[in-house]
Amino acid sequence: MKAIEEVTGTRFKPVWIVALLALAALIAFPLLQPDDIYRQNVLFQTFLLAVGAISWNIVSGFTGYVSLGQSAFLGIGAYTVAIISIRNGLDPFLVAPLGGLAAALVALVIGLIVMRTRGHAFVIITIALLLLFQTIGLNLGSLTGGSNGLTLPLPQWNVDYQNFPFYYSMLGIMVITHLFSMWIRRTKFGTGLIAIREDEQKAGGIGIHTTRYKVSAFIASAVFMGIAGGIYAYYLTFIDPRGMFDILVSVSIVLAVLVGGRGSIWGPIVGAFIVQPLNEATNVYAKGSQSRLVFFGGALMAVVLFMPDGIVTTITRFFRDRRRRGRGVASLVQDAISTERPKLTVLRDQEADPSSALLRVEGASKAFGGLQAVDACSFEVRQGTITGLIGPNGSGKTTMFNLITGMMTPDSGEIEFRGRRIEGLHAWDRAHLGLGRTYQITRLFRQMTVLENVIAPLSEFRWRQLGADGMHGPEKDKALELLNYVGMGKFGEERAGDLSFGQQKLVELAQVLMLEPRLVLLDEPAGGINPVLIERLAGLIQDLNQQGITFLLVEHNMPLVLKLCDPVIVVARGSRLAEGHPDEIRRNPLVLDAYLGEGSDDDELEPEAAG
Ligand code: ADP
Ligand code: MG
């Protein structure tokens, strides 16, 4: 604990000192060099690019949705401010916030549509939107002036102030945008965005309302871009659709983020301060827009080839690895898993009615093409039990889990949880009802730390909660308690992807407990992990069960099933074959036949033989 605090505490200090010194220099520059208008202008453009890069990083770096339409928000802000200030004779600085508002509204509307697509489709659609706005700008002449553009009023302030108001306002917006992005990254909202980037389906399964998160991220990436667009329009005094909805601006933004480090906090701003001056230099030396394209293309290729993670990410990784070596790799070995099992205080009280069915599956079916993976399967899981679900490989157990948790929709049948029909609900709604699962092949968010992985789940959705601090306070305490409970307390700061398979399974259990679940579906928890860990896992399951959590356990390790589960349900070819006390199941000829029929070992159901 202390060590973690120390590490995170010292990690940020040098960065902040450098950043504050740089900020002081930027504030001082126009005052010290009032006549160097050229450099002031280059810096102004750099601040603008940084605002774009930081904003774009929220939706494309944190959330993983790569957009080429970021400059559309610049154009929308610019036109909003230009039109309002020209028509009403208002100072564009006063109107600039409305540019942000307009961009946010547009982001909300198109976000609801485009956030349904992913990958290539998403990139293409964002380019299309950018061109669409350009076309609208060109054709809505009465409002936008069409291709003739709009001319804003000239600044009225005293010439002694030069371009200072532009310079300092854009600098201010850049700082605010950066702080905003940092804040987002620390909140539960930010953790959710990273979770979506890493594994969107899984994110839904741990209660993250992915639609609302993605649209919110899109809006967050638009606001400051829109405000900056308004100020940019005033600075230019003339705007036209081709210049304002320019894909090259989007490309520069992408380039700045890739150079700095996509998904990192400082990457976009560092990238902007590299890309914009370089761009300026190529303009000066090569004098022509063609060479600028060559520069962008070449730089993009070089970055992707030689430093795919960007400068900031590469540097932080270097220091992280060094720190880890300093700490000793020992912390990653299995021995470090604690065998103590502290009492849990964070689980909610369970409804104690052992006779009722917590989960009821009625005639559920699911086919993949011609393959009937789940075939009119019915069963119940009673409150307070550890119910086993066994069957040969390919008998549809994992598919059944997918139907129950909402990863897939059944072709027919009913699924009832806590007396409510859930087969039509989103995965996150089911999670909020208290339904949690682990995966046969663990699906942790590999780029996140172990602690962030456990912090990420949401046991309910509230807008207010999005702003909750994810890295400190009650959420962190709860996650740490759960990590300690499963014995992984020492691993909080490790990257989840660095853990062994067994360790990942323990972390995934802690993660699902963060949901305060009533029913946990475990998909082959003991598969592929060593006997000591299996023992530990069995202890955890029994202990949690005594604290009121119900389990549905899919497992091939028969001694474990026979020891933990009652009742045991047997499925074969997607349907329920038998159900009963483990002793009955072991002797049931139908069951033996199912296993033998699939070519399994005769002794598989005998605990002595398999143990
Ligand atoms: P189990 O977990 O019992 O081993 P699964 O539910 O994973 O079985 O798979 C049941 C059957 O459905 C298998 O034949 C498998 O190949 C098939 N299957 C599972 N998921 C998919 C999918 N997404 N697409 C196509 N076929 C699938
Ligand atoms: Mg399976």
The letter for the amino acid at 348 is R
Long-range contact list for 398-402, CB < 8 A, 24+ apart? 398/440, 398/523, 398/554, 399/366, 399/373, 399/374, 399/574, 400/361, 400/364, 400/374, 400/571, 401/437, 401/521, 401/523, 401/554, 402/366
Ligand 1: nearest atom to the Cα of 440: 2
pLDDT digits (tens, 9 = 90+) for 277-335: 888 887 777 666 677 777 777 877 888 788 888 888 888 888 877 877 765 544 445 55
Inform me whether the pLDDT recorded for 608 exceeds 80.
no
- The Å distance, Cα 394 to ligand 1 centre, comes to 6
- Rounded Cα distance between 52 and 225, Å, is 6
- The Å distance, Cα 372 to ligand 1 centre, comes to 9
Burial 75-112 (b: 16+ CB within 10 A, else e): bbbbbbbbbbbbeeeeebbebbebbbbbbbebbeebbe
- The Å distance, Cα 263 to ligand 2 centre, comes to 33
Q: Is 245 exposed, middle or buried (0-12, 13-18, 19+ CB in 10 A)?
A: buried
Lowest pLDDT segment from 344-358, 407-421, 431-445, 462-476: 344-358
- Rounded Cα distance between 177 and 184, Å, is 10
As given in the structure block, the two tokens for residue 244 are 């304002």
Lowest pLDDT segment from 42-51, 401-410, 539-548, 600-609: 600-609
Count, in order, helices (H) and strands (E) of the chain: 25, 12
CB count within 10 Å of CB 283 equals 14
Q: Is 504 exposed, middle or buried (0-12, 13-18, 19+ CB in 10 A)?
A: buried
Centroid of chain to Cα 50: 22
Lowest pLDDT segment from 147-151, 237-241, 480-484: 147-151
* Residue whose CA is at the smallest distance from ligand 1 atom 22: 368
- The Å distance, Cα 374 to ligand 1 centre, comes to 9
- Rounded Cα distance between 445 and 462, Å, is 23
- The Å distance, Cα 497 to ligand 2 centre, comes to 22
* Residue whose CA is at the smallest distance from ligand 1 atom 14: 394
The whole-number pLDDT of residue 9 equals: 42
User: Which of 201, 368, 400 is the best mutation target for the ligand 1 pocket, counting ligand atoms within 8 Å of the beta carbon and taking the most?
Assistant: 368
User: Considering the chain, what is the average pLDDT of its residues?
Assistant: 87
DSSP code per residue over 145-187? -GGG-EEPPPP-S-GGGTTHHHHHHHHHHHHHHHHHHHHHHHB
DSSP code per residue over 248-289? HHHHHHHHHHHHH-TT-SSHHHHHHHHHHHHHHHHHHHH-SH
**What does each C-alpha distance from 360 to 340, 351, 567 come to in angstroms?**
35, 16, 14
Question: Binning pLDDT at 50, 70 and 90, where does residue 456 land?
Answer: very high
The letter for the amino acid at 585 is I
Question: Binning pLDDT at 50, 70 and 90, where does residue 606 land?
Answer: very low
Ligand 1: nearest atom to the Cα of 393: 4
- The Å distance, Cα 367 to ligand 1 centre, comes to 9
574 lines ligand 1 (CB under 6 A): no
Ligand 1: nearest atom to the Cα of 524: 2
Ligand 1: nearest atom to the Cα of 392: 3
pLDDT digits (tens, 9 = 90+) for 67-112: 999 999 999 999 999 999 999 989 999 999 999 999 999 999 999 9
The letter for the amino acid at 141 is G
Task: Look at residue 369 and give its three-state secondary structure.
Answer: coil
Inform me whether the pLDDT recorded for 61 exceeds 80.
yes
HEC per residue, 94-138: HHHHHHHHHHHHHHHHHHHHHCCCCHHHHHHHHHHHHHHHHHHHH
Inform me whether the pLDDT recorded for 519 exceeds 60.
yes
Ligand 1: nearest atom to the Cα of 523: 2
User: Which of 390, 398, 570, 571 is the best mutation target for the ligand 1 pocket, counting ligand atoms within 8 Å of the beta carbon and taking the most?
Assistant: 398
Ligand nearest to the Cα of 374, by number:
1
Burial 559-590 (b: 16+ CB within 10 A, else e): bbbbebbbbbbbbbbbbbbbbbebeebbebee
- The Å distance, Cα 523 to ligand 2 centre, comes to 7
As given in the structure block, the two tokens for residue 232 are 């940019």
| Rounded average pLDDT over 41-48 | 96
395 lines ligand 1 (CB under 6 A): yes
Ligand nearest to the Cα of 440, by number:
2
As given in the structure block, the two tokens for residue 601 are 């070992």
373 lines ligand 1 (CB under 6 A): yes
DSSP code per residue over 578-609? EEE-HHHHHH-HHHHHHHHHTT--GGGG-HHH
Domain residue spans of the chain: 71-245, 256-321, 357-610
- Rounded Cα distance between 603 and 592, Å, is 9
* Residue whose CA is at the smallest distance from ligand 1 atom 5: 396
The whole-number pLDDT of residue 601 equals: 47
CB-based contact 446:499 (threshold 8 Å): no
Q: Could you tell me which residues come within 8 angstroms of residue 475 by beta carbon, excluding any fewer than 6 positions away? A: 188, 455, 468, 469
393 lines ligand 1 (CB under 6 A): yes
Q: Is the model more confident about 272 or about 322?
A: 272
The whole-number pLDDT of residue 475 equals: 84
575 lines ligand 1 (CB under 6 A): no
Ligand 1: nearest atom to the Cα of 400: 6
| Rounded average pLDDT over 224-237 | 95
- The Å distance, Cα 440 to ligand 2 centre, comes to 6
Lowest pLDDT segment from 108-112, 374-378, 601-605: 601-605
Q: Which fold, 357-610?
A: Rossmann fold (3.40.50)
Burial 425-460 (b: 16+ CB within 10 A, else e): bebbbbbbbbbbbbbeebbbbeebbbbbbbbbbbbe
- The Å distance, Cα 398 to ligand 2 centre, comes to 4
Question: Binning pLDDT at 50, 70 and 90, where does residue 374 land?
Answer: very high
- DSSP one-letter code for 425: S
Ligand 1: nearest atom to the Cα of 401: 6
Q: How many CA atoms lie within 13 A of 228 on its CB side?
A: 32
- Rounded Cα distance between 184 and 203, Å, is 17
CB count within 10 Å of CB 69 equals 27
| Rounded average pLDDT over 344-364 | 76
